[in-house]
Amino acid sequence: MTVERVETSGPENNQPCGDGLKVVEIQTGLAVEVAAISDVGCRRANNEDNFGYDLQSQLFVVCDGMGGMAAGEVASSAAVDQLLSSYESLRATEMDVEERLHLAIVSANRAVWATAQENEKLRGMGTTLVTACVDESRIVIGNIGDSRAYFLRDGGCLQITQDHSFAAEQARRGVLPVAEGYLGSMRQIITRAVGVAATVQPDLFTAEVKPGDLVLLATDGLTRYAEAEEIARHVDSEQSLAESCRKLVEIAKEQGAEDNVTCMLLRFQ
Q: Which residue has the higher pLDDT, 22 or 181?
A: 22
Q: Which residue has the higher pLDDT, 170 or 202?
A: 202
Listed residue (169, 166, 162) closest to 143, CA to CA: 162
Compute the distance between CA of residue 217 and CA of residue 152 in angstroms, rounded to an integer.
11
3-45 pLDDT, tens digit each: 666 655 544 333 445 555 555 555 554 589 999 999 999 999 9
204 in a structural domain: yes
Average pLDDT, the chain: 87
Q: Looking at residue 174, what is its pLDDT?
A: 77
189 in a structural domain: no
Compute the distance between CA of residue 118 and CA of residue 135 in angstroms, rounded to an integer.
36
Q: Looking at residue 17, what is its pLDDT?
A: 52
As for how many domains the chain has, the answer is 1
Q: Residue 135 burial by CB count (10 A; 0-12/13-18/19+): exposed, middle or buried?
A: middle
Compute the distance between CA of residue 27 and CA of residue 64 in angstroms, rounded to an integer.
25
pLDDT of residue 49 exceeding 60, the answer is yes
Compute the distance between CA of residue 256 and CA of residue 246 in angstroms, rounded to an integer.
15
Q: What percent of the chain has pLDDT over 90?
A: 72
49 in a structural domain: yes
Listed residue (240, 239, 250) closest to 39, CA to CA: 250
Range of the domain at 240: 3-8+19-161+200-268
Q: Per-residue confidence at 169, pLDDT binned at 50, 70, 90?
A: confident
193 in a structural domain: no
Sheet holding 214-218, edge to edge: 22-27, 32-39, 261-268, 214-218, 148-153, 156-159
208 in a structural domain: yes
Q: Which residue has the higher pLDDT, 178 or 79?
A: 79
Q: Which residue has the higher pLDDT, 69 or 21?
A: 69
Q: Per-residue confidence at 189, pLDDT binned at 50, 70, 90?
A: confident
Compute the average pLDDT of residues 165-191: 68
109 and 103 in contact (C-beta within 8 Å)?
no
75-130 pLDDT, tens digit each: 999 999 999 999 999 988 999 999 999 999 999 999 999 999 999 999 999 999 99
pTM here is 0.88
Q: Looking at residue 185, what is its pLDDT?
A: 58
Q: Looking at residue 167, what is its pLDDT?
A: 78
DSSP label at 246?
Answer: H
Q: Per-residue confidence at 170, pLDDT binned at 50, 70, 90?
A: confident
CATH number at residue 152: 3.60.40.10
46 and 70 in contact (C-beta within 8 Å)?
yes
Task: Give the 3-state secondary structure of residue 96.
Answer: coil
170 in a structural domain: no
262 in a structural domain: yes
206-242 pLDDT, tens digit each: 999 999 999 999 999 999 999 999 999 999 767 899 9
25 in a structural domain: yes
